[in-house]
Chain A
């Protein structure tokens, strides 16, 4: 019991001092996960919209695969990107393995299906409501897809947020392609795993507290934005 409370107070002290190592880890985490979310949203949102609106053979299979990929284990995502980027892999020449870029790629790969699947659902619901109206006004399927993306923008925030939550929380993918190298590719989750196994509980706990606070703050901000926007625009 004593040990736990001691760890907590030491963790709080680390945070209060803006410990440089801690700060570096937190900033790298944010950089990696936010970049991954940006890339995944850029691909996933239009992809979700296209699948929601278009009708083509094999559409149902794609939806099932996309939904299944929402549960893709991070270590598997990491492994696939590892194979792609390793020396012998097709993109090995780029020398990206064990860099933050590799971590961004792995996380983007992990969460693109999440964002695409959730966006597909939201946009398809809206499409049922909008279809006749947009067709009557003369919108092509393509322009209808973009109209729906914009009109469901508040619901899509939730999809993007789910992607961010997954990226910020995962250990496996960044561990495999990043390697958890101190000062280079060490992020919050990999640091927590390492420090815990080393027995440095205050640092692990401090990082855990920061991670939770960040995720909570972001969720609250998005929730409030969404509420306000929905009150304003209906």
Chain B
């Protein structure tokens, strides 16, 4: 049995539980006693103004940062949960090699090498519509293409959870639409999506539930429909009013 299928069949790493998680740098609090639980299935969108701590929160969940206090627990041991999650960074870093080799690199780190790795990588490129550009050096690709390679690289690992940090922040509308299509496809394949975005229209299109973060605190959690129609808190209402919506 191949390793990825094994991973898909293995026990779910979800739910993810955060309890009183805080994160501070040099005494400056960025995340302030946040608790929540993430379950499989629903697409979770983290929204909030610049500097609210969205990115940091996601990095904490993914394990790139360690909380100053509080606990972050997966359903399985952290060392087992680690390889079954992936993250697409706000500015994904491409290695100085071809698009295909970038994906093969990630697969090799997960123990999938050789012909199997190549096949899996090509399949992932196909999924993001870049199979024809497989041999192009990734660093000279356009921003939109690099973002899609990053999605393919994450998807190739068949993660149970995929974190996306502002995946369309610097893309034009066409490239953004393509990224949204891919995220939707990854969700349809059964991967839990956790995403930050500035784009309220995108949050509505891609999200099931919203975590609204302000000043490092979790202010409101609601279904997308409810959050946008009838936010329960004054802060969320003010945020929705102040943002340039529906772009």
Q: Does A pair with B?
A: yes
Please tell me if the beta carbons of B140 and A151 are within 8 angstroms of each other in the complex.
Answer: no
Q: Would you call A233 an interface residue if the criterion is a C-beta within 8 Å of the partner chain's C-beta atoms?
A: yes
**Closest-CB distance, B163 to chain A (whole angstroms):** 9
Per-residue CB contact flags for chain A residues 109-138 toward chain B (1 = under 8 Å, else 0) read: 000000000000000000001101111111
Quick check: is B182 within 8 A (CB to CB) of the other chain? no
Asked whether A20 is an interface residue with its Cβ less than 8 Å from the other chain, the reply is no
| B64 with A135: CB separation less than 8 A | yes
- Name B140's closest neighbour in chain A (CB-CB): A234
Say how far A135's CB is from chain B's closest CB, in angstroms: 6
Interface stretch (choices B18-26, B87-95, B202-210): B87-95
| Pair B64/A132 contact, Cβ less than 8 Å | yes
Q: Are B82 and A234 in contact (CB under 8 A)?
A: no
User: Closest approach, in angstroms, between the C-beta of A157 and any C-beta of chain B?
Assistant: 13
Q: Which chain B residues in 54-96 approach chain A with CB under 8 Å?
A: 59, 62, 64, 82-83, 86-87, 89, 92-96
Docked Cα-Cα span, A52 to B153, in Å, equals: 26
Measured CB to CB, the closest approach of chain A to B184, in angstroms, equals 22
A165, B109: Cα distance in complex, Å = 38
Residues of A within 8 A of B139 (CB): 233-234
Interface residues on B, range: 20 to 34
In the complex, per-residue mask of A94-117: 1 if CB is within 8 Å of any chain B CB, else 0: 000000000000000000000000
Does A133 contact B109, Cβ atoms closer than 8 Å?
Answer: no
A143 at the B interface (CB under 8 A): yes
Structural contact, B137 and A139, CB atoms closer than 8 A: no
Q: Which residues of A contact B106 (CB under 8 A)?
A: 137-138
B89 touches A136 (CB 8 A): yes
Chain A proximity of B72: nearest CB distance (Å): 16
Neighbouring B residues of A135 by C-beta, 8 Å: 64
Say yes or no: A138-B109 contact (C-beta < 8 A), given A132-B64, A147-B95: yes
- Contact of A137 with B89 in the complex, beta carbons under 8 Å: no
What number of A residues sit within 8 Å (CB to CB) of B?
18
- Whole-angstrom distance from the CB of B204 to the nearest CB of chain A? 27
Residues of A within 8 A of B212 (CB): none
- Contact code string B32-71 (vs A, CB < 8 Å = 1, else 0): 0000000000000000000000000001001010000000
Query: Is there a chain B Cβ closer than 8 Å to A198's Cβ?
Result: no
Q: Please tell me which one of the listed residues B62, B93, B110 contacts residue A129 in the complex, with CB atoms under 8 A apart.
A: B93
Interface: A55 (CB within 8 A):
no
CB neighbours (8 Å) of A137 from chain B are: 86, 105-106, 109, 153
Q: How far is the CA of A227 from the CA of B153 in the complex (A)?
A: 28
- In whole angstroms, what is the CA distance A129 to B105 when docked? 17
Q: Is the CB of A132 within 8 A of B89?
A: yes
B96 touches A130 (CB 8 A): no
A135 CA / B106 CA spacing, docked (Å): 11
Q: Which residues of B contact A143 (CB under 8 A)?
A: 109
Q: Most chain-A CB neighbours within 10 Å: which of B64, B87, B109, B140?
A: B109
Question: In the assembled complex, which residues on chain B have CB atoms less than 8 Å from the CB atom of A130?
Answer: 93
| B95→A151 contact, CB < 8 A | yes
> Cβ of A136 and Cβ of B64 under 8 Å apart?
yes
Within A138-183, which residues are at the interface with B (CB < 8 Å)? 138-139, 143, 147, 150-151, 153
Chain B neighbourhood of A151, CB < 8 A: 95-97
Q: What is the minimal beta-carbon distance from B101 to any residue of chain A, in angstroms?
A: 11
Q: Is A133 a contact of B83 with CB atoms below 8 Å?
A: no
A133:B96 contact, CB within 8 angstroms:
no
Residues of B160-197 contacting chain A, CB below 8 A: none
Q: Which residues of B contact A232 (CB under 8 A)?
A: 137, 140
Does A136 contact B96, Cβ atoms closer than 8 Å?
A: no
Query: CA separation between A136 and B94, bound complex, in Å?
Result: 13
**Residues of chain B whose beta carbon lies under 8 Å from any beta carbon of chain A:** 59, 62, 64, 82-83, 86-87, 89, 92-97, 105-106, 109-110, 137-140, 153
Given A132-B64, A138-B82, A151-B95: 8 more A-B contacts, CB < 8 Å: A130-B93, A132-B93, A134-B93, A137-B109, A138-B109, A138-B110, A139-B109, A153-B96
